[in-house]
Amino acid sequence: MAEDSATQGTYDGSRDGMVSELGCYLHVRPGQAENLRRAVREFATSSGRQGMVGAAEKIGVRTLRGTLFDNDTRFLFATTFDTDWDTYVDDAVEMMGGIAPWGKFLQYCEEVPPDAGTPGAVGNADAKELLAKVRTKAAVYIDTYPEVSCKKFNRALQVLAAFEKVLDNPDAAEALKHPALKPLLDQAAE
């Protein structure tokens, strides 16, 4: 079950095992809902989105979500990650070269400077302070795999892909008869 991590570092969000959450509930600038929606979609197909695979391995980012609600007057920016708040935000902001990739959509929210999407407009320390001011602690946070890091997930997928190649290779039939491989073959059969 999720545990409160108020005593772990400076992060005051919720945590389950090694996984932390960050939720920011923001107010959409009047008349900017469509711009925000467009910018979020652009982010989802940009190099920022493509970079999430690398970010998963490097800084442990698991998910990122943006949701308009309350008749497009509010915006939820949420992410989950494998580390504590300080480590994640410092690494994420450094890896992105500032907040500009997120700022391209967050700039349509009242709590964020309107130039946040411009590289260098919001410094790393200011970005961290901004996120700290707008975050809201989850009442409960539960992760399906709280003790498995993104790095381990990626490694497991690589091992699975390699094992499936072995299973598909007719030349491996004799080797696969070895008793030491029985646990792997039993798993593969499920």
Q: How many CB atoms lie within 10 A of CB 164?
A: 11
Q: Which two tokens stand for residue 20?
A: 């932390």
Check if the beta carbon of residue 99 is closer than 8 Å to that of residue 122: yes
pLDDT exceeding 90 applies to what percent of the chain? 38
Identify the residue whose tokens are 């389950």.
Answer: 16
pLDDT at 1: 40
SS3 184: helix
The letter for the amino acid at 87 is: T
Identify the residue whose tokens are 């497991």.
Answer: 156
Residue 117 has pLDDT above 70, yes or no: yes
Q: What is the pTM of this model?
A: 0.80
Whole-number average pLDDT of the chain: 85
pLDDT tens for residues 37-94?
999 999 888 775 666 667 677 788 888 899 999 999 999 999 999 988 888 888 888 8
**How far apart are alpha carbons 6 and 2 in whole angstroms?**
12
Q: What are phi and psi of 109, to 5 degrees?
A: -110, 145
Identify the residue whose tokens are 């920011």.
Answer: 24
pLDDT at 189: 77
Strand stretches in the chain, DSSP E = 3-4, 14-16, 19-27, 61-69, 74-81
pLDDT exceeding 70 applies to what percent of the chain? 89
* Mean pLDDT for the stretch of residues 137-165: 91
> 49 vs 15, which has greater pLDDT?
15
**How far apart are alpha carbons 74 and 66 in whole angstroms?**
10
Residue 4 has pLDDT above 60, yes or no: no
pLDDT tens for residues 17-29?
999 999 999 999 9
DSSP β-bridge partners for residue 66: 77
